[in-house]
């Protein structure tokens, strides 16, 4: 099978633990090096991973055994770190969003293409059995021709639980840029790419109060909209109504519902890998749960990077940089539409990613083979 694929991890904040739980023991990869602005945090992370070194970012980018850089920095640093990795001839897999602005994202994709390296991007949650089972049901004609969808995410804000929530309320943050990638990526898997958007947005508070950790009680500024809603016009003709909010308490709405001529699907939270998919037929007796029939079983963060490594000519990466750029185009266009009060056509186009066949955990946890 060859040697494991060498990974270098930059950024060891909260989300890194989930990635490292998946990657540290996977036979297809080896975590070679880790780096963080906080050197002590890098040393602590390396101590938990056999064979990993705690190094500087510069050393990691040029480490001879690092083939792919896993960029888990805050959004404002995504372009800098991803760009430096590409310049060093490394592949990149980056936490969402791809970058803070669309021009930055376009630059990353273009530079990677010129350098002959690959870019992948979270979220990979949509490759699990939740979203993929719903996609299989749609593709199989269970609800007839899909006409519309709704996607709803409402929380009171991440400052209640995150000890360092500042970046959620700085440029590149907010509910759309933070949580939108999960919902929009799922919608592209379910209904295909988007051609135009109409958006509206608001910001009801100028400051938030940190609710946990050593900065408990500290006020932080809010620089971005905290409630964003809009309509996505899919290339195939379906319309999605999207709502993302850090201003509400909760919602009883399904995270995603897809409505077709013959029925409706309730799709689980796209920020999770699994969950129950429910179906209601036009003349059926009531909602019924669908058994998982597609997707990576028991998947976890990092499966998108594994999928990227396994990609070949017959099966391109599903959590690709091109998909992430299209998602970024959608999100930034929604914010522009809200600011300018007009419908905006997108500048990117992307193929709907290939579906994920039903893949038991023991298969994706094994060393890669050709095709997937």
Task: Please give the order of strands across the beta sheet that includes 344-345.
Answer: 288-290, 277-281, 263-267, 256-260, 146-154, 239-245, 227-234, 194-202, 344-345
User: Which of the four pLDDT bands, split at 50, 70 and 90, describes residue 367?
Assistant: low
Please give the Cα distance from 159 to 174 (Å, whole number). Answer: 12
Residue 314: per-residue pLDDT: 87
The rounded mean pLDDT for the chain is: 95
Q: Which two tokens stand for residue 204?
A: 């009801």
Please give the Cα distance from 282 to 279 (Å, whole number). Answer: 10
Paired sense of beta strands 219-221 and 68-71, if any? unpaired
The predicted-structure confidence for 81-109, as pLDDT tens digits, reads as follows 999 999 999 999 999 999 999 999 999 99
Q: How deeply is 115 buried, as exposed, middle or buried, from its count of CB atoms within 10 A (0-12, 13-18, 19+)?
A: middle
Contacts of 270 (CB under 8 A, 6+ apart): 123, 125, 126, 130, 131, 182, 183, 185, 186, 255, 256
User: Which of the four pLDDT bands, split at 50, 70 and 90, describes residue 149?
Assistant: very high
The predicted-structure confidence for 263-288, as pLDDT tens digits, reads as follows 999 999 999 999 999 999 999 899 99
Asked whether 317 and 327 are in contact (CB, 8 A), the reply is no
Asked whether 36 and 42 are in contact (CB, 8 A), the reply is yes
- With tokens 């893949």, the residue in question is 359
Residues in a beta bridge with 260: 146
User: Which of the four pLDDT bands, split at 50, 70 and 90, describes residue 5?
Assistant: very high
User: Which of the four pLDDT bands, split at 50, 70 and 90, describes residue 2?
Assistant: low
DSSP H helices in 192-247: none
Please give the Cα distance from 286 to 89 (Å, whole number). Answer: 54
Q: How many CA atoms lie less than 13 Å away from 74 in the CB half-sphere?
A: 12
In sign, the C-alpha dihedral spanning 356, 23, 177, 321 is negative
What's the average model confidence in pLDDT over 343-356? 97
Q: Which residue has the higher pLDDT, 284 or 321?
A: 321
User: Which of the four pLDDT bands, split at 50, 70 and 90, describes residue 1?
Assistant: very low
Residue 371: per-residue pLDDT: 41
What's the average model confidence in pLDDT over 159-176? 92
User: Which of the four pLDDT bands, split at 50, 70 and 90, describes residue 219?
Assistant: very high
pLDDT greater than 50 at residue 329: yes
Residue 214: per-residue pLDDT: 94
What's the average model confidence in pLDDT over 18-36? 95
pLDDT greater than 90 at residue 248: yes
What's the average model confidence in pLDDT over 156-179? 93
What's the average model confidence in pLDDT over 236-253? 97
Please give the Cα distance from 9 to 74 (Å, whole number). Answer: 13
Please give the Cα distance from 162 to 328 (Å, whole number). Answer: 24
pLDDT greater than 70 at residue 6: yes
pLDDT greater than 90 at residue 340: yes
Share above pLDDT 90 across residues of the chain, in percent, rounded to a whole number:
93
Per-residue DSSP letter, 291: P
What's the average model confidence in pLDDT over 164-191? 95
User: Which of the four pLDDT bands, split at 50, 70 and 90, describes residue 38?
Assistant: very high
The predicted-structure confidence for 290-311, as pLDDT tens digits, reads as follows 999 999 999 999 999 999 999 9
């Amino acid at each position: 099978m060859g040697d494991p694929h060498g990974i270098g991890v930059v950024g060891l904040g909260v989300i890194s633990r989930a990635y490292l739980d998946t990657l540290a023991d996977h036979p297809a990869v080896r975590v070679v090096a880790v780096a963080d602005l906080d050197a002590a945090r890098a040393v602590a992370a390396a101590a938990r991973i056999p064979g990993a070194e705690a190094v500087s970012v510069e050393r990691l980018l040029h480490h001879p055994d690092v083939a792919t850089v896993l960029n888990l920095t805050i959004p404002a640093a995504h372009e800098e770190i991803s760009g430096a990795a590409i310049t060093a001839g490394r592949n990149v897999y980056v936490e969402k969003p791809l970058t803070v602005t669309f021009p930055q994202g376009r630059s990353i994709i273009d530079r990677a293409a010129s350098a002959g390296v690959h870019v992948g991007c979270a979220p990979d949650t949509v490759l699990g059995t939740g979203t993929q089972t719903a996609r299989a049901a749609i593709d199989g004609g269970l609800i007839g021709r899909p006409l519309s969808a709704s996607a709803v995410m409402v929380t009171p804000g991440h400052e209640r639980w995150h000890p360092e929530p500042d970046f959620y309320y700085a440029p590149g943050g907010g509910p759309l840029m933070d949580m939108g990638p999960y919902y929009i990526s799922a919608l592209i898997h379910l209904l295909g790419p988007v051609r135009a958007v109409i958006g509206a947005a608001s910001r009801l508070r100028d400051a938030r109060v940190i609710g946990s950790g050593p900065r408990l009680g500290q006020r932080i500024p809010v620089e971005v909209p905290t409630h964003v809603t809009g309509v996505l016009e899919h290339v195939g003709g379906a319309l999605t109504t999207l709502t993302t909010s850090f201003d509400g308490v909760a919602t009883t709405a399904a995270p995603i519902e897809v409505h077709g001529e013959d029925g409706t699907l309730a799709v689980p939270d796209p920020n999770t890998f699994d969950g129950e998919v429910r179906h209601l037929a036009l003349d059926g007796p009531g909602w019924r749960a669908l058994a998982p029939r597609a997707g990576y079983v028991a998947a976890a963060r990092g499966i998108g990077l594994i999928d990227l490594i396994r990609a070949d000519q017959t099966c391109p990466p599903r959590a690709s940089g091109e998909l992430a750029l299209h998602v970024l185009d959608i999100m930034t266009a929604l914010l522009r539409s809200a600011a300018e009060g007009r419908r905006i056509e997108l500048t990117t186009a992307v193929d709907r990613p290939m579906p994920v066949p039903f893949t038991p955990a023991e298969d994706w946890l094994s060393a890669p083979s050709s095709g997937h």
